[in-house]
């Protein structure tokens, strides 16, 4: 297939590279010249395991190129929309300006026989609105949401756990086109669900809302555990054995962040309110509040452990990214904790294997190091907020030699608590002590 991918961020760059690997001819298009230059040179502009190899191999095969010129889309007949839909600056709704601009720019190059596949996460009702303009050219629209996780994006794109096609009733021709694009996944037996536009859009946001709810549920239990002396990790293990509940996404800690879950639940709430159905998802506001409270809990614990104030104390913050195996610091709980502690007067030294450059752009006021040893040396308190293997695997005995105060707050319940206590540390977890 001849494919164009509009938008070459986390989603589009991986999608374009993976589609080329699968044998399609792909052009990736983005307005950001610096991003296109780096991608063309085989260098992803962000950290994603496996992407450098995939990108280099796809470019070398001659089936992948990148450009800022949207006219290149004229060579393709399948066009993926993979631009961002960030939270608006003045509210909770999604900002659709990049989606609208992508369609505006694409319209002159599409016509009968072309399929536009929308991958961006959009408020329900967007596809129906865009379809009218697309269909006026003779092209067709399919809403084809993406479920990839950062850190596993290559795997999730090549071998997704499901494919969803939202299309006009009876548009079998467009479904057949996407079947050809995804032939590899379909041969592996990937479930394929064909829906209308609204259902496909809702599948995406409801999946993220469910995941966010699951995390906030266990974090709410952590709050109750803190009031009662119970242990939320054991609780999660025990309820997780019930396969109806499941253990995954039940890790209590400093909560969820990133470019998707937080803004998606807010945009979903805003859209439901527009539809007069705000009540149906009012619980998502609670999910958001629980999540944000966990960040404050870390700062409160830090103050309590340092005698009521962190002022002038050196705090080693381990992790700034929203999760390990990513350099993404968007809405990162870890970075938020570091900034709050700094705001309370602490001397914060934040370490991260991949996220320092992005964190520094957002919060230049913090001191950053790539090597955790520099953060740990002489620290009065250690706070683990992103569970990078480099940090969860720290030797508590050797680490104790580096610090001034052997107190650790495990914001991800990811350390071997007994080993740290045995090495002489005072250990504080989230929803367990």
**Residues near ligand UGA (CB under 6 A):** 121, 146-150, 208, 211, 215, 249-251, 253, 255-258, 260-261, 322-323
DSSP code of 62? T
Q: How far is the CB of 42 from ligand UGA (least distance, A)?
A: 23
Q: How far is the CB of 148 from ligand UGA (least distance, A)?
A: 5
Which residues, in sequence order, are bridge partners of residue 317?
350, 383
The residue among 109 and 256 lying less far from ligand UGA, judged by its C-beta, is 256
Q: How far is the CB of 219 from ligand UGA (least distance, A)?
A: 8
Q: How far is the CB of 71 from ligand UGA (least distance, A)?
A: 29
CA angle 212, 216, 220 (to 5 degrees): 170
Q: How far is the CB of 350 from ligand UGA (least distance, A)?
A: 16
Nearest to 3 by CA among 54, 56, 77: 77
Tokens 């809302």 correspond to what residue? 209
Report the alpha-carbon distance of residue 308 to residue 42 in Å, rounded.
50
Report the alpha-carbon distance of residue 1 to residue 10 in Å, rounded.
22
3-state DSSP assignment of residue 367: strand
Catalytic residues: 260
DSSP E strands: which ranges in 14-145?
A: 25-29, 64-67, 78-81, 115-118, 140-143
The residue among 255 and 405 lying less far from ligand UGA, judged by its C-beta, is 255
Can you say whether the dihedral through the CA atoms of 231, 234, 240, 241 is positive or negative? Answer: negative
The residue among 262 and 405 lying less far from ligand UGA, judged by its C-beta, is 262
Tokens 């999540």 correspond to what residue? 291
The residue among 105 and 156 lying less far from ligand UGA, judged by its C-beta, is 156
Which residues, in sequence order, are bridge partners of residue 318?
351, 384
The residue among 197 and 322 lying less far from ligand UGA, judged by its C-beta, is 322
């Amino acid at each position: 297939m001849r494919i164009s991918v509009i938008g070459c961020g986390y989603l589009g760059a991986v999608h374009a590279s993976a589609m080329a690997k699968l044998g399609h001819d792909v052009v990736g298009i983005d307005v950001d010249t610096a991003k296109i230059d780096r991608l063309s040179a085989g260098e992803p502009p962000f950290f994603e395991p496996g992407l450098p190899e995939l990108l280099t191999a796809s470019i070398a095969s001659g089936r992948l190129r990148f450009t800022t010129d949207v006219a290149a889309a004229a060579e393709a007949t399948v066009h993926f929309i993979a631009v961002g839909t960030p939270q608006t600056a003045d509210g909770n709704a999604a900002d659709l300006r990049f989606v609208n601009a992508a369609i505006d720019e694409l319209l002159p190059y599409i016509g009968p026989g072309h399929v536009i596949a929308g991958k961006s996460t959009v408020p329900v009702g967007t596809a129906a609105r865009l379809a009218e303009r697309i269909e006026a050219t003779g092209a067709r629209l399919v809403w084809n949401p993406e479920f990839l996780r950062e850190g596993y994006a290559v795997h999730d794109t090549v071998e997704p756990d499901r494919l969803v096609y939202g299309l006009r009733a009876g548009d079998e021709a467009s479904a057949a086109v996407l079947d050809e694009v995804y032939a590899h996944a379909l041969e592996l037996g990937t479930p394929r669900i064909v829906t209308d536009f609204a259902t496909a859009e809702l599948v995406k946001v409801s999946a993220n809302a469910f995941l966010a709810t699951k995390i906030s549920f266990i974090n709410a239990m952590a709050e109750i555990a803190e009031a009662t002396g119970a242990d939320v990790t054991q609780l999660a293990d025990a309820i997780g054995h019930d396969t109806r509940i499941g253990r995954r996404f039940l890790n209590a800690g400093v909560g969820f962040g990133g470019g998707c879950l937080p803004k998606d639940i807010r945009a979903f709430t805003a859209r439901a309110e527009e539809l007069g159905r705000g009540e149906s998802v009012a619980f998502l506001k609670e999910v958001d509040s629980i999540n944000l409270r966990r960040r404050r809990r870390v700062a409160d614990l830090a103050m309590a452990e340092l005698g009521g104030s962190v002022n002038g104390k050196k705090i080693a913050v381990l992790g700034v990214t929203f999760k390990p195996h990513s350099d993404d610091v968007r809405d990162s709980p870890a970075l938020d904790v570091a900034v709050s502690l700094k705001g309370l007067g602490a001397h914060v030294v934040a370490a991260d294997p991949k996220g320092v450059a992005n964190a520094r752009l957002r919060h230049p006021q913090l001191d950053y190091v790539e090597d955790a040893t520099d953060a740990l040396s002489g620290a009065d308190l250690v706070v683990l907020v992103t569970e990078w293997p480099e940090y969860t695997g720290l030797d508590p005995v050797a680490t104790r030699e580096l610090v001034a105060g052997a107190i650790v707050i495990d914001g991800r319940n990811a350390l071997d608590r007994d080993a740290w206590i045995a090495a002489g540390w005072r250990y504080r977890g989230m929803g367990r002590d």
